[in-house]
Amino acid sequence: MTDVRELWAALRPEVREEVDACVAGRRMVRAIHAVRSSPEGAGTGIPLGKDLVAWRLEVLGDRVEPWPTYDLEALTGEARSMPGGPPAALRLEWDGDSWGWMLLLTAGTTVLATWRGTDWTEPLATAAALAERLGVPLHGPGDGGPAGWDG
């Protein structure tokens, strides 16, 4: 099976419902797993599973949960209430997956925020404002985007 529509049509209704629920909740890996774990999708490669999920993202449109937004007050409270007390520093790190680039704001091993998109102005400003509020340094990349980023 090489076409996502053929694969979709072959899946049982309950598997299609699970896939759509996962895609709507932005749980893409879980959606691919649901396809590959079903008898009809057994043997489906990850690339075809990824293509099916991308197609379902388009089909579901505005039913897909928006990316989270981060409020400076909430982030400040979360950082100040971390086990062991507020962090000594914050770090911004680029990461990427099959669906694009993301910017992670971490304190130690705790991820405080994850942003996706192509306009990094708001995440960079939020991270800088949080570091200033906490009185800690902010380490990591500047506003040039991830290596190889063409946005």
> Strand order in 138-139's β-sheet?
110-116, 100-107, 90-97, 138-139
Alpha helices (H) in 4-91, listed in sequence order: 4-10, 13-24, 28-37, 46-60, 72-80
Distances from the Cα of 151 to the Cα of 52, 101, 110, 135, angstroms: 25, 10, 27, 31
pLDDT digits (tens, 9 = 90+) for 24-80: 999 999 999 999 999 999 989 999 999 999 999 999 999 999 888 899 999 999 999
Confidence of residue 94 (pLDDT cuts 50, 70, 90): confident
Task: Record the tokens describing residue 113, joined without a space.
Answer: 């925020």
Query: Do 35 and 19 meet the contact criterion of CB atoms below 8 Å apart?
Result: yes
Which residues does residue 90 pair with via DSSP β-bridges, in sequence order?
138
User: Which pLDDT score is estimated for 64?
Assistant: 94
State the average pLDDT for the chain: 89
- The dihedrals phi and psi of 83, each to the nearest 5 degrees, come to -55, 135
Q: Nearest Cα to 60, choosing from 17, 99, 93?
A: 17
How far apart (Å, rounded) are the C-alpha atoms in residues 127 and 107?
Answer: 11
